[in-house]
Amino acid sequence: MTALAYGAGEDFIDQTLLPAGDYLETILKGAEEHGLPAAYIAEAGEWRQKI
């Protein structure tokens, strides 16, 4: 299997932008379903309060 990933450099990251609420919920649900660490899910879940 071949995979390609993009990692943005600091000059291309705008920390003021947040994901749409529906998108965030999809990501968090997938993270839980795939057993990602609870700390990661909790950190990403903090965005809910900002949206």
Number of domains in the chain: 1
- Asked if residue 2 is part of any domain, the answer here is no
Angle at 8 between CA 41 and CA 28, to 5 degrees: 15
- Asked if residue 9 is part of any domain, the answer here is no
- Listed residue (31, 32, 24) closest to 50, CA to CA: 24
For tokens 């919920």, the residue is: 25
Q: What is the mean pLDDT of residues 10-15?
A: 90
What is the predicted pLDDT for the residue at 19? Answer: 87
Full residue range of the structural domain in which residue 36 is found: 16-49
- Asked if residue 4 is part of any domain, the answer here is no
* Helix, coil or strand: residue 16: coil
Looking at the predicted structure, is the pLDDT value of residue 1 above 90?
yes
Q: For residue 28, what are the CA distances in angstroms to 1, 6, 12, 24, 51?
A: 26, 21, 24, 6, 14
pLDDT digits (tens, 9 = 90+) for 18-41: 889 999 999 999 999 999 999 989
Looking at the predicted structure, is the pLDDT value of residue 5 above 90?
yes
What percent of the chain has pLDDT above 70? 100
- Asked if residue 6 is part of any domain, the answer here is no
Mean pLDDT estimate for the chain: 91
